[in-house]
Structure 1
Amino acid sequence: MKKVIFGGTFDPIHNGHIHIAYEALYNLEIDEIIFMPAGQPPHKSNKRVTGGKIRYEMVLKAIEGEERFSVSDYEIKNKGLSYTYNTLIHFNKIEPDTEWFFLVGVDSLMALKTWMNIDIILDNCTLVVFSRSGFLEKNVLEMKARLEAEYNTNIIFLQMPLLDISSTTIKEKIAQHKVVNYLLPYKVERMINKYNLYRDKV
Structure 2
Amino acid sequence: MTLAVLGGSFNPVHNGHLSLARTVHSLLGYERVFLIPAASPPHKALSSGATPEQRLEMLRLAVAGEAWLEVDDCEIQRGGTSWTIETLRELTLRYSSSLEGKIGLVIGRDLASGFSQWREADLIPHFADIILAGRPGGDQNSAPEFPHRLLANDLVDASSSDIRSRIREKASWESLVPEAVYRYILDNALYQNS
1:12-56 superposed Cα distances (whole Å, 9 cap, x missing partner)? 000111110111111111100011011111222374363211101
Q: What is the match of residue 107 of structure 2?
A: 104
2:128 corresponding residue in structure 1: 125
1:165 to 140, 158, 162: 158
Aligned match of 2:190 in 182, 186, 197? 197
SS in structure 2 at match of 1:76 = helix
Residues in 2 aligned to 1:2 and 1:46: alpha-carbon distance in whole angstroms:
30
Amino acid at match of 1:20: L
Equivalent residue of 2:175, what SS? Answer: coil
Between the aligned partners of 1:198 and 1:72, the Cα distance in structure 2 is 23
Question: 1:49–1:112: structure 2 CA closer, same or farther, 3 Å change rule?
Answer: farther
Give the letter aligned to residue 39 of structure 1.
A
Q: How does 1:1-202 map to 2 (within 5 A)?
A: 1-45=1-45, 47-48=47-48, 50-96=50-96, 97-98=98-99, 99=101, 100-138=103-141, 140=142, 142-143=143-144, 146-147=145-146, 154-200=147-193
| CA distance in 1 between partners of 2:8 and 2:79 (Å) | 17
Larger relative contact order (C-alpha < 8 A, sep ≥ 6)? 2
Amino acid corresponding to residue 18 of structure 2 in structure 1: I
Deviation at 1:199, TM superposition (A): 0.7
Question: Equivalent pairs: percent with the same residue?
Answer: 28
Cα deviations across residues 109-165 of structure 1 (Å, max 9, x unaligned)?
Answer: 122122111022111010111111334433x2x22xx22xxxxxx311101221111
For residues 78 and 12 of structure 1, the distance between their equivalents in structure 2, rounded to whole angstroms, comes to 20
**Partners of 2:140 and 2:179 in 1: how far apart?**
33
CA RMSD of aligned residues (A): 1.5
Q: Check conservation: 2:52, 2:76, Cα contact below 8 A.
A: yes
* Contiguous gaps of at least 5 residues in structure 1: 148-153
Using the alignment, how far apart are the partners of 1:49 and 1:175 within structure 2? 10
TM-score, normalisation: structure 1: 0.89
The answer for the alignment partner of 1:150 in structure 2 is none
How high is the TM-score relative to the length of structure 2? 0.92
> In the aligned structure 2, how far is the partner of 1:187 from the partner of 1:46?
23
Quick check: 107-116 or 23-32, which moved more? Answer: 107-116
Amino acid at match of 1:189: Y
Helix, strand or coil at the partner of 1:12: coil
Whole-angstrom CA distance in 2 between matches of 1:78 and 1:59: 18
Report the count of equivalent residues: 191
